[in-house]
Chain A
Amino acid sequence: MDLQFTEEELAFHEEVRAFLAADLPQDLAAKVRRSDTLSKADHDRWHAILNARGWLATTWPEEFGGPGWSPVQRHIFEEESARAHAPRTVPFGLAMLGPVLIRFGSKAQQAEYLPRILDGADWWCQGYSEPGAGSDLASLRTRAVREGDHYIVNGQKTWTTLGQHANRIFCLVRTDAQVKPQAGISFLLIDLDTPGIEMRPIKLIEGGHEVNEVFFTDVKVPVENLVGEENSGWTIAKFLLTHERTNIAGTGFSTQAFEEVKSLARARRVNGRRLIDDPLYAARLAQVEIDLEAMKITNLRMLARAQKTGQPGVESSMLKIKGTVIRQELNDLARRALGPAAAPFPAEALAGNAAVAPEEHRADAARYFNNRKLSIFGGSNEIQRNILTKALLEL
């Protein structure tokens, strides 16, 4: 048993820190710290900086332009990035489609799309969920019917995150309605400029625009945009799910959030003392710290196993459940720390003299509400429990 990183890993750690200190633009970090909405230009800017360093597509093999990192290196990079308030890289091209094309795509598809993901020419979004197909994804109904050299696509996708910035969408579509649901699904790449596509914004609980609905009416998609075999989409989707799982514990975000809440509670004076001197509040914070410290080790244990076996195990569902609950609890503690000052909205309206909360905390209530999504998307925490029950418990 040795909880320390190796010499090489420690050296890598230093390298990442130095890079972030030198190359992460402070104005971007400040926006992330305040939970400001990042523009497309903000995301593109950070992607370009990472790409210049060769650190953008962290899960891709070197031959395709990835850094060839081990799971532990990726973990170190993600933790440090979160600590430095670096923007999250947009996962749809980098962490989802890229690995799919590398595993299932044709040589032509790899040559065409992978470089465009790296240099920012393409922004992909994920077209899986439909109004009627959420947890039960296999029941999706968007249809693609083969006509000569094209598929004709009809249907609706929803929850399309950051689709407003995207020029392309990868979709799961139904290509065979006669077989059992999982066996009739295909994975299709669609150019969002194709006639017949309409994207509409969905306003979220805190008022932000980060997801969309996408409607397809007789959309013509060239057959060469099919990834893998026709009707093999479910296999690809399942493969992708395991990739969605990297960094699923989000301990970097939690550690960062914990530090932020701790300094807020130390700085804030409430009812004649520092908030941190209120034993009830301090108890809440200490409780989360304990859970988080355990979570970090759980995460590293699973990482070490993945490093040995080359596969993330089903236990990653535990990381998803516990990791999201901890992040949400920290969001709750931040909102709670502000008391009534968390409630004004929109928060940026109250600046300067009239501000009721420190600038980097003015959106804490909005963040708390927005992050309720963490336990819903990417396979809800209930679905994760179903997975764990089946895989682990032998009941």
Chain B
Amino acid sequence: MDFDQSEDRRMLAETLSRYLSDRYDIAARNAVAYDAPYHSPDRWAEMAELGILHALVDEDHGGMGGSGFDIATVFEELGRALCPEPILPALMGLRLLAAAGAELDPVLAGTDQIAVAIGEPEAPWDLDALETRARKAGDGWVLTGRKSVVYGGHVAGRLLVAAKTDAGLGLFEVLARDAEITPYGMIDGGGAAEVFLDATPARLLIADATEAIEAALNAGRVALCAEAVGAMDATKDLLLDYLRTRQQFGRPIGSFQALQHRAVDLVTEIEQARSITILAADALDGPEAGRRAAMAKNLIGRAARLVAEEAIQMHGGIAMTWEAAVSHYGKRLVMIDAQLGDTDFHLTRVMEGLQA
């Protein structure tokens, strides 16, 4: 048993952490995160150069990592810095392209930005409920439907789209310029888009794609959990610092036992969150990947909301302001739950496992 990170991953974490604290302090982050295009092309290029994307892909596909722990290492640092760059869609897109046997190099180099378009207005997370249809047209295919809240869809040149065929669920490539795309920013920073497909030309990548899509989603879920762990750690640091320094009634508010016990509960929940993320990262490429990811996403959804709400409450009014970093951490922590399946969605999956 060894819960220490490998030397390589420690170095990766350090490099990334140094880079992010250098270039993405909270003020710089906010300047990028809330205004179009909701990410920084310069930072994106620098991060690709640092090898962040390579760390998400295994050596067989031209990367330098690709395990659950590599992914968790990267995303924990991204979460700590609240980085708004669309790296999650890149991660899931790279997995899907690898499964399709497609070329990854331009994506790994950062020059080709991709987004993964799966969720729909009435089917945010459940693949069975998707309604976007693919139809054969001449040599190729055309897609019709609407993809909703497509993270990274605001900057991507290519979209990897899940659509129903007569044979099942297929994965298609659509060029962004062929679709109707409405980009927008998010309340917790970063960007996404509505994607409207109306007999839009598409190229078939994987005919029976359910398994590949589930695998990409599970990788994304591990990434989000790790991101939340990083953001929770940073939030805890902000909170403890504030509890030590904020004076009311002639003493630091951290001296009130009413707050001390709640801070301890947060620290405990964060350790639980870290543990379940380790469990899910470890299982990512095995048969238990889906169930572990569901467990992790459920626990993270509960813990992240608690940490966000309690950290805001224990800061008092100051946490209600845009100027306070904790407000931005709070928003991200709460909204992570809505990505790739929320607490209840994943609890249902775990419950189904019990019934089987």
A336 touches B342 (CB 8 A): yes
A272 touches B182 (CB 8 A): no
Docked Cα-Cα span, A370 to B330, in Å, equals 12
Contacts of B247 in A (CB 8 A): 132
Docked Cα-Cα span, A203 to B322, in Å, equals 5
**Cβ proximity bits A270-294 to B, threshold 8 Å, 1 near / 0 not:** 1110000010110010000000000
A385 touches B317 (CB 8 A): no
Number of interface residues of B (CB under 8 A): 52
Docked Cα-Cα span, A129 to B129, in Å, equals 52
Also in contact, A372 and B313, with CB within 8 A (given A135-B248, A272-B123): yes
Contacts of A328 in B (CB 8 A): 309
Docked Cα-Cα span, A377 to B321, in Å, equals 13
Docked Cα-Cα span, A356 to B109, in Å, equals 33
Interface hits, A338-374 → B, CB 8 Å: 338-347, 349-350, 353-354, 356, 365-366, 368-370, 372-373
Docked Cα-Cα span, A335 to B338, in Å, equals 9
Contact of A345 among B184, B259, B305, B348 (CB under 8 A): B184
Who on chain B is nearest to A346 by CB?
A: B185
Also in contact, A341 and B258, with CB within 8 A (given A134-B316, A205-B331): no
Contacts of B312 in A (CB 8 A): 205, 372, 376
Contact of B192 among A281, A332, A344 (CB under 8 A): A344
B184 touches A349 (CB 8 A): yes
A339 touches B125 (CB 8 A): yes
Docked Cα-Cα span, A203 to B323, in Å, equals 7
Q: Is A51 an interface residue (CB 8 A)?
A: no
B335 touches A343 (CB 8 A): yes
Contact of A271 among B124, B192, B305 (CB under 8 A): B124
Contact of A377 among B187, B317, B337, B348 (CB under 8 A): B317
Counting residue pairs across A and B whose Cβ atoms lie within 8 Å, the total is 153
Docked Cα-Cα span, A328 to B256, in Å, equals 24
B194 touches A340 (CB 8 A): no
Q: Is B59 an interface residue (CB 8 A)?
A: no
Contacts of B76 in A (CB 8 A): none
CB of A354, distance to nearest CB on chain B (Å): 4
Q: Is B186 an interface residue (CB 8 A)?
A: yes
A376 touches B313 (CB 8 A): yes
B316 touches A344 (CB 8 A): no
Q: Is B105 an interface residue (CB 8 A)?
A: no
Docked Cα-Cα span, A381 to B313, in Å, equals 9
Contacts of B335 in A (CB 8 A): 342-343, 365
Q: Is A207 an interface residue (CB 8 A)?
A: yes
Also in contact, A269 and B187, with CB within 8 A (given A129-B317, A134-B316, A280-B347): no
Q: Is A380 an interface residue (CB 8 A)?
A: yes
Q: 5 closest Cβ contacts across the A-B interface?
A: A271-B126, A345-B187, A340-B149, A203-B322, A280-B344
Docked Cα-Cα span, A96 to B334, in Å, equals 35
Q: Is B168 an interface residue (CB 8 A)?
A: no
- Extra pairs beyond A271-B122, A281-B344 (13, CB < 8 Å): A203-B322, A204-B321, A205-B312, A205-B331, A270-B124, A271-B123, A272-B126, A278-B348, A280-B347, A339-B124, A342-B187, A350-B182, A380-B313
B148 touches A340 (CB 8 A): yes
Contacts of A339 in B (CB 8 A): 124-125, 338, 342
